[in-house]
Structure 1
């Protein structure tokens, strides 16, 4: 049900508070799977289809199976048990998945959100039989920063008709459609009684705009804590940037001189102060309405498939790159962007008629006259919001127009404030030029996206950084007066604000320079090409397996398969061996439940672990074991066992690691970090996905202090 705004605000406040802590026990429920055979009355020797459909929990998505398996995410696979009652035909197929370019994997991934469907064609060879299989897949959420691997038992019985028969018994139809069987099927009931629901934005798993609380889950007699979900911070950040863009637009030479003209328009026509205030508000609301309608039009045009095309195809990305370059050159003074004079004159004539209609057209005149300066900014906002969402372009334009309208409204109400405004002059053109430099820098983000998707290799991380360093160095020199453009007014003095802005610009340039030699530059990680495209690096690391040999004097178990711990951190891949090493080193044991296909595990490693204060602690204060829950290495039969949790035989290293996480810590999501003492007791509350570096440091320090206390040191 819908909640009043104050309740939503209260819930969000609670969620943000809860997000500072990780849930101690949390079993993430899988999707609800149903299976059936079509046609329900198959014919022997003729093709039929096994259909698997999933109802995916809100805020989560599952990966499909028709993209590059080497990227990283776990592809959905169907392992059919052998049967003489049928033979398979063709491949296990995902039906209608969505596509998204994922920077962390450097390629296109396909996924389902809300609902998913897979099909497997087969040919019945007997009058009756059953299709028995195991479905393996990965479910992730970018709201919680977690990924979970599941395997689902599938069992569907069928009764086939002889060739040439068209009759079908009710019993056959009934058997041809059944839910996934077994204990796993019973666990698939998803709680849908949450009071607050996430709006199901099917265009992308990365843009959720509402919040949800899962009800407590009962597992093995223990109540699992609720899962806090955070508001989509990117939407708020986008609105803040749009608002700041509106304020910046006020300082352009096309807009700033319009302020006194606006004041004279209202002060000359208002019969009373009350009427003047009313007119001023109508004027401000008209500005907001005009821009917001433009955002609504963009939102109406966009759709999920259009959004995916915009995000991944080379054509729109190159088009946006060209548009931003065009805007940048206009701001730098190469040419002016103007609307047809006839259109502006006609609107201006409407404004002269007076009344509410006249006020509206006065606002429209302002929008049109200022277009040469606001057009590039508005265009940039609309391009940046092009993601298939209904709300983002509308809110972006609302935030921009709000910042744009407030000063005009206030000056219309309080015309005496005009005396405090600085006079128009060359500084307005300087603002315009600064915006031109920024537009120029942002243009290369779109070129980078097309380059990454199609592997052109023309804009690697090094080249991208060099371009940005040159652009922002040029901006700094311009602010210091070392670079002059044709429209600049002569000036022998640099003001303090301009000097400070120049200093901050050069600080930013100095921050980027180490990135040329492999520094992570985590504050720019969302804008730069991935580290894997870096051609030159000075940083290196010690192989974690070699480092592990120094403690026990023996080879690291499973070091011969592709398992790793990044950044030269000492580590192991087997729990028992790691615990022995921790005891010998007299250090706490840090368990990293991770996975090859865990995108948020990689984000933690690239954005949190690389921090010097975190990395120092991980290397010096703990013995680490990385337990990969999706490793498919099949162990010797002597090491197999039947899980107490789901009654299934665990044959692979990954399934045994996942079972260990569930049975010992009542959690099945990754990343998940657990710190134990030598008696295998918790030293701190386990922590999941946590991008707050200071919070992660406190997690590590708290566990170390508790370990020392227990050891009597």
Structure 2
């Protein structure tokens, strides 16, 4: 997704997830026997970090559960049901409205069997689902095909057979060749040759399109600069500039030397804050930083932290470090000389200004944590430090600029209070994440919007001078910049009001809870697929002369629902999908049995059996498009050729519009 930096710039981080084959789970299958008439079919799985495999018996309304299936058996009877083994995790999932059970790192699924004849044969498979925080795998099968002498008749033979048996490694990524039987299942509107053409792989063509490079780190850097500029104008930092520059000029008779030392002072500030970003990166790492944006406990902690910072900005109390720290650092800087003394002076500035810079730094680090990148905090702090340090160097080079710089005054406290309102608004965003995770439903969409409307209305009234906070000047009057900020804040509050009745509000869709938490929704501009069959949809597209959007989705795909709620509800997106495209949604977990099972061949030469409609669409996605994660959106022409690059989970509506329009342009040019 897409992530919040600061409300003043309305910067949305656009992160594209390129389609690629995923292989997060590897299973082996074994039939374990002994000297008795009973045995165990054991499926052992190793799960990559960040992924999880769902347990058994989750219910029809949940995601893809682990289940055991038998194609054929002779001399074998099943005993009981499929049993999971391992450390099972259970937690409430707000999208499904139920508790889900799953496994991380490793898992075993065991099916007990009983041998009833001197010889036996069994062909069976395990079907499972796997997801991470951004995508889900289609239903994946682990097959076992065994035959031999029953250990109930010949125990020694069974022992030898077990000793020779090797685990059958099964991976869930495959590219398969289209068979005549698969093509024969197509509608009469297309003959077998046409269907084969539609199934022709286009992986290389898809990869040839230039995939957009994420600008997330660039936006983080800009957000850091904005944060540094905001901190610069706070009462804790701005008054220090003339005092510091004056100190450097008086310390040296040579103005040239004074300028050089002031520049070193600015560089020292950059080093200190970048080091802070590096420390955060090394302490947490990429995976833990990503957890900060998704874990309920962390989000509650972030919410409380931002509330405390907001209260501090409102004047309830001052967040300061122990004065002994800054006194000691100041003393050390006076006792030393050279570069070390300058660095210590910069460190003293960091400590003295903490009451104003701390909340801004904290908010910045919280925001970039959602990127899940160890580079993001460092880049953010680099931008922050540069914006904070450059004025010191510039004023040292050109001291006359200090005369024209605005003087300290009440306007700085107005800025602090404004930041307090913004931090309260984002505190609600983090609380909303926790609310969704636990299924509390205390901050559903209309409640969230009502609180934001109240906050930005109060901010507008404050900027107009209708009420004050403790540190505001008596008789404070609204100036022209404050008037325009008040106008923007009140207009934003009015803009959100229709959202209480279900309006999409695309400007805040990245912040507000999903549309499905709205209790009262009058908005009817929804998108539904015209076809859930690939060949039938392609036949219709040819007749109508329209391009096609193939939507690889799943009934249990959480992020698919998020995209439909946050992006497809946008009026412009809905119009394009309903009017300009033939939308084909292919559910890779559709359990409807195929009229006839289809045997296909993987690239490694092994055989795979397609038993359900979902199996067929999952294999189409892998074979033709070289991907196996959902959601995945691909724009193709009537011959099945890609019109542009693919798109995955990303709630940036403007980027999604660009994606759809690029497909229309490419189709028109053909």
The answer as to whether partners of 2:413 and 2:472 remain within 8 angstroms in 1 is yes
Q: Offset at 1:528?
A: 1.1
Q: Which residue among 398, 401, 406 is the counterpart of 1:417?
A: 401
Match of 2:512 in 1: 528
Mark the CA change 1:500 to 1:105 in structure 2 (over 3 Å): closer, same or farther: farther
Q: Offset at 1:168?
A: 11
The answer as to whether partners of 1:517 and 1:539 remain within 8 angstroms in 2 is yes
Match of 2:108 in 1: 119
Match of 2:354 in 1: 371
Aligned with 1:527: secondary structure?
coil
> Relative to structure 2, which stretch is displaced further, 528-537 or 405-414?
405-414
Match of 2:258 in 1: 276
CA distance in structure 1 between the partners assigned to 2:378 and 2:529 by the alignment: 50
Q: Offset at 1:492?
A: 7.2
The answer as to whether partners of 2:55 and 2:103 remain within 8 angstroms in 1 is no
CA distance in structure 2 between the partners assigned to 1:633 and 1:109 by the alignment: 23
CA distance in structure 1 between the partners assigned to 2:469 and 2:629 by the alignment: 56
CA distance in structure 2 between the partners assigned to 1:609 and 1:308 by the alignment: 26
CA distance in structure 2 between the partners assigned to 1:300 and 1:29 by the alignment: 27
CA distance in structure 1 between the partners assigned to 2:520 and 2:614 by the alignment: 35
Aligned with 2:21: secondary structure?
coil
The answer as to whether partners of 2:22 and 2:628 remain within 8 angstroms in 1 is no
Match of 2:553 in 1: 594
Structure 2: segments with no counterpart, 5+ residues: 1-15, 177-199
Q: Offset at 1:445?
A: 1.8
Match of 1:653 in 2: 613
Mark the CA change 1:402 to 1:108 in structure 2 (over 3 Å): closer, same or farther: farther
Mark the CA change 1:102 to 1:457 in structure 2 (over 3 Å): closer, same or farther: closer
The answer as to whether partners of 2:41 and 2:113 remain within 8 angstroms in 1 is no
Q: Which residue among 340, 343, 348 is the counterpart of 1:360?
A: 343
CA distance in structure 2 between the partners assigned to 1:448 and 1:349 by the alignment: 46
> Relative to structure 2, which stretch is displaced further, 395-404 or 344-353?
395-404
Q: Deviations over 1:144-195 (max 9, x none)?
A: x7865543434578999999x99998985452434339xx89869xxxxxxx
Q: Offset at 1:530?
A: 1.3
Aligned with 1:352: secondary structure?
helix
Aligned with 2:400: secondary structure?
helix
Match of 1:343 in 2: 325
CA distance in structure 2 between the partners assigned to 1:515 and 1:697 by the alignment: 25
CA distance in structure 1 between the partners assigned to 2:250 and 2:156 by the alignment: 86
The answer as to whether partners of 1:156 and 1:178 remain within 8 angstroms in 2 is no
Q: Deviations over 1:628-663 (max 9, x none)?
A: 23211124x4x5555577865544222334455667
CA distance in structure 2 between the partners assigned to 1:300 and 1:664 by the alignment: 41
CA distance in structure 2 between the partners assigned to 1:233 and 1:100 by the alignment: 34
Q: Deviations over 1:32-61 (max 9, x none)?
A: 8352659x99665898783534586x9x95
Match of 2:64 in 1: 74
Mark the CA change 1:411 to 1:157 in structure 2 (over 3 Å): closer, same or farther: farther
Q: Which residue among 577, 588, 594 is the counterpart of 1:618?
A: 577
Match of 2:452 in 1: 468
Q: Deviations over 1:661-682 (max 9, x none)?
A: 66777776653445555xx676
The answer as to whether partners of 2:313 and 2:417 remain within 8 angstroms in 1 is yes
Residue 658 of structure 2 is aligned to residue 698 of structure 1:
no
CA distance in structure 2 between the partners assigned to 1:363 and 1:426 by the alignment: 26
Match of 2:42 in 1: 50
Q: Offset at 1:450?
A: 2.3
The answer as to whether partners of 1:124 and 1:160 remain within 8 angstroms in 2 is no
The answer as to whether partners of 1:243 and 1:402 remain within 8 angstroms in 2 is yes
Give the structure-2-normalised TM-score.
0.75
Match of 1:331 in 2: 313
Give the structure-1-normalised TM-score.
0.71
Q: Offset at 1:93?
A: 3.6
Residue 557 of structure 2 is aligned to residue 573 of structure 1:
no
Match of 2:590 in 1: 631
Q: Which of structures 1 and 2 has the larger relative contact order (alpha carbons within 8 angstroms, sep 6+)? A: 2
The answer as to whether partners of 2:546 and 2:580 remain within 8 angstroms in 1 is yes
CA distance in structure 1 between the partners assigned to 2:325 and 2:593 by the alignment: 73
Match of 1:238 in 2: 220
The answer as to whether partners of 1:643 and 1:659 remain within 8 angstroms in 2 is no
CA distance in structure 2 between the partners assigned to 1:622 and 1:109 by the alignment: 36
CA distance in structure 2 between the partners assigned to 1:157 and 1:273 by the alignment: 91
Alignment of 1:245-644 (within 5 A): 245-270=227-252, 272-302=254-284, 315-355=297-337, 356-385=339-368, 390-489=374-473, 494-540=478-524, 567=526, 569=528, 571-574=530-533, 591-635=550-594, 637=595, 640-643=597-600
Root-mean-square deviation (Å): 4.7
Structure 1: segments with no counterpart, 5+ residues: 1-18, 189-218, 542-566
> Relative to structure 2, which stretch is displaced further, 620-629 or 504-513?
620-629
